């Protein structure tokens, strides 16, 4: 069978592989024959007969697979080339589209610029038209202002002339009035001088009369002074007597005040003693506790009401209540009925008593 040249290299490769395998087998056999086994075992070599036609058929299958693989690779390369060409075509189309879009944008930009330029030119024209109109209006307004200013100046000049005439008229009137006033003043001065002369003569006559009258008055004053001195002496004597009477009355009043003070002090001590007698000391009462009570009395000494006006922070409720109960137990301070009504009303109608446990000798 004639071999194709495409199978030469695979055949040579297969032959080399077989030779190498045979060499390895021979080397292994020789090394194993040199060993001395502990037990003699009969060696049996198995060999397989290789059919060259089968080997070639297998090689042909391998080559066919390689050809298929090459064909598949070629197809894949063709497909990749086609894909690459399609990608390039798409990229070229995209670039062309981009270029067309850029051209279109440039054209639009040029058109927009053209439109904007036209619009700017139109605006410039309109602005110029407005400016021209504004300038014309300003010119008209300036002319109107100038006319108004000229009219105002003319009116002011006329007003100034009228004022000047009025001022001259006023000055003339003022001069005439001054002349009349000067004449009037001169006449008044002459009349005043005449009146002053008459007044001086009258004063001289009046002074003489006044001097005579003063002499008469001085004599009368002397008499009156003498009379007044006598009256003052009588008043001093009377005042001295009154002062002596007043001093005597003050001494009596002081004596009565002392007597009243003693009576009040005695009554106060009596009230304290009566309350102390009736007071029952509570268990929590301690020295230092203070309570002030207002006792309302009638002239007979009877207790009408009792109020707590002040209590020390240390004063307990039981202590305060015990003092109030003691006063209510007294009910009536009999000795107070012996005081006169004035002294009672001044001191005991509403009486404040300060109560402290240490004041009591219990």
For 279-359, CATH gives 3.30.1150.10
Task: Tell me how far apart the alpha carbons of residues 295 and 301 are, in angstroms, rounded to a whole number.
Answer: 11
Contact partners, residue 315, CB within 8 Å, separation at least 6? 289, 290, 291
pLDDT for the residue numbered 162: 85
Do the Cβ atoms of 350 and 294 come closer than 8 Å?
A: yes
Q: In this structure, what are the phi and psi dihedrals at residue 165, rounded to the nearest 5 degrees?
A: -65, -40
pLDDT for the residue numbered 229: 73
pLDDT for the residue numbered 196: 85
pLDDT for the residue numbered 40: 54
pLDDT for the residue numbered 362: 41
Q: How many CB atoms lie within 10 A of CB 353?
A: 17
- In the chain, count of helices (H) and strands (E)? 4, 3
Whole-model pTM above 0.95?
no
Do the Cβ atoms of 328 and 295 come closer than 8 Å?
A: no
Q: What b/e readout covers 275-307, taking b as 16+ CB neighbours within 10 angstroms? A: beebbeebeebeeebbbbbebebeeebebeebe
pLDDT for the residue numbered 91: 86
pLDDT for the residue numbered 357: 83
Structure letter (DSSP) for residue 76: H
Contacts of 17-20 spanning 24+ positions with Cβ under 8 A: 18/50
Over the chain (362 residues), the average pLDDT of each successive run of 10 is 68 90 85 58 55 76 83 85 86 88 86 87 88 89 89 88 88 87 87 86 84 82 83 78 68 69 92 93 91 95 95 94 95 92 92 81 45
Task: Tell me how far apart the alpha carbons of residues 281 and 326 are, in angstroms, rounded to a whole number.
Answer: 10
């Amino acid at each position: 069978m004639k071999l194709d040249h495409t199978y030469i290299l695979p055949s040579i490769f297969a032959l080399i592989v077989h030779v190498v395998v045979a060499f390895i087998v021979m080397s292994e056999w020789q090394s194993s024959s040199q060993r001395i086994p502990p037990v003699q075992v009969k060696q049996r070599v198995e060999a397989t007969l290789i059919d060259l036609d089968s080997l070639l058929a297998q090689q042909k299958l391998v080559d066919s697979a390689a050809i298929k693989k090459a064909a598949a690779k070629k197809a894949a390369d063709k497909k990749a080339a086609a894909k690459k060409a399609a990608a390039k075509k798409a990229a070229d189309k995209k670039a062309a589209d981009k270029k067309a879009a850029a051209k279109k944008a440039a054209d639009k930009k040029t058109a927009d610029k053209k439109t904007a330029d036209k619009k700017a030119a139109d605006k410039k024209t309109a602005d110029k038209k407005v400016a021209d109109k504004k300038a014309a209006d300003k010119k008209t307004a300036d002319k109107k202002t100038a006319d108004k200013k000229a009219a105002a100046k003319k009116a002011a000049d006329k007003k100034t002339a009228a004022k000047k005439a009025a001022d001259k008229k006023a000055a003339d009137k003022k001069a005439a009035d001054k002349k009349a006033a000067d004449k009037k003043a001169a006449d008044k001065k002459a009349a005043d001088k005449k009146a002053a002369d008459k007044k001086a003569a009258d004063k001289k006559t009046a002074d003489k009369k006044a001097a005579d009258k003063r002499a008469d008055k001085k004599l009368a004053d002397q008499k009156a002074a003498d009379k007044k001195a006598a009256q003052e002496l009588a008043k001093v004597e009377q005042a001295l007597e009154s002062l002596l009477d007043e001093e005597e009355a003050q001494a009596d009043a002081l004596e009565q005040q002392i007597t009243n003070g003693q009576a009040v002090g005695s009554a106060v001590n009596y009230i304290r003693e009566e309350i102390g007698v009736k007071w029952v000391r509570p268990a929590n009462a301690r020295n230092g506790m203070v309570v002030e009570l207002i006792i309302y009395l009638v002239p007979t000494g009877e207790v009408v009401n009792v109020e707590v006006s002040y209590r020390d922070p240390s004063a307990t409720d039981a202590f305060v209540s015990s003092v109030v109960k003691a006063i209510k137990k007294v009910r009536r301070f009999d000795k107070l009925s012996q005081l006169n009504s004035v002294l009672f009303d001044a001191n005991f109608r509403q009486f404040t008593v300060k109560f402290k446990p240490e004041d009591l000798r219990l």
